[in-house]
Amino acid sequence: MKRVAIIQSNYIPWKGYFDIIGMVDVFVIYDSAQYTKRDWRNRNKIKTAQGTQWLTIPVQIKGQYRLAAIKDVKVSDQKWRKKHWHAIELNYKKSIYFKEYSDLFKSLYLDDDQEYLSKINFKFIKAINEILGITTEIRWSMEFDIVGDKSEKLLNICKQLEADIYLSGPAAKSYLDEDLFNQEGIKVEWMDYSGYPEYPQLYTPPFIHEVSIIDLIFNTGPDAPKYMKSFKK
């Protein structure tokens, strides 16, 4: 049974995003989709002594937001790299596994000058997959013929991949037409983000699940998969 997921690129996503990647055979980065402001495309949260802190990549859009595809969005100022790395170093330098992974992340931030947001996101996603041992095949939406409304576009990608199962995040329940998938013999499964176990996290209480996965990596290192769902047997 071939399982596929199709999701927009996110910046240093939380653990649920990587669980979806780990649960499928092919993961499609859907950067042909419309860019949305104040979303996860260019920002995420880290844990600090004062609570959570947003790390946001500044972007520039040609024309109107409603017409911009994620793949066409560029950063507006490369100074974000030093700012984000400084914030991460400041807040995670006391975590158990920070030293083990700091050189890798420091290089991702400071030794690169990529301008396109989705490609920046991909570099982080690829590196984090390697840390976690996720070997799922990753494809880009631009590789496929995409036509129709929201549901039809996703269905067409699944059909071209000869998928048996489409794994979706729960937010898509508001628009996804499951009947379309059923008619094509593709079963829709919904990701369940409930029931994640807590792990040794800095600055607790409170424990906060909804932060970038770098929080899990710096705090638990090679044990990170134990606190995720895609590695459960």
Size of the chain, expressed as the number of residues it contains:
233
How buried is 119 (Cβ within 10 angstroms: 0-12 exposed, 13-18 middle, 19+ buried)? middle
pLDDT values of the chain reduced to their tens digit, one per residue, 233 residues? 999 999 999 999 999 999 999 999 999 999 999 998 889 999 999 999 999 999 999 998 776 666 689 999 999 999 999 999 999 999 999 999 999 999 999 999 999 999 999 999 999 999 999 999 999 999 999 999 998 899 999 999 999 999 999 999 999 999 999 999 999 999 999 999 999 999 999 999 999 999 999 999 999 999 999 999 998 75
> Which residues are CB-contacts of 136 (< 8 A; sequence separation ≥ 6)?
21, 22, 24, 25, 26, 27, 129
Coil, strand or helix at 24: coil
Cβ pair 37, 3 in contact under 8 A: no
Q: What is the pLDDT of residue 131?
A: 98
- Name the residue among 54, 47, 67, 49 with its Cα closest to residue 11: 54
> Which residues are CB-contacts of 178 (< 8 A; sequence separation ≥ 6)?
188
Cβ pair 228, 18 in contact under 8 A: yes
Q: Domain coordinates of the chain in residue numbers? A: 3-227
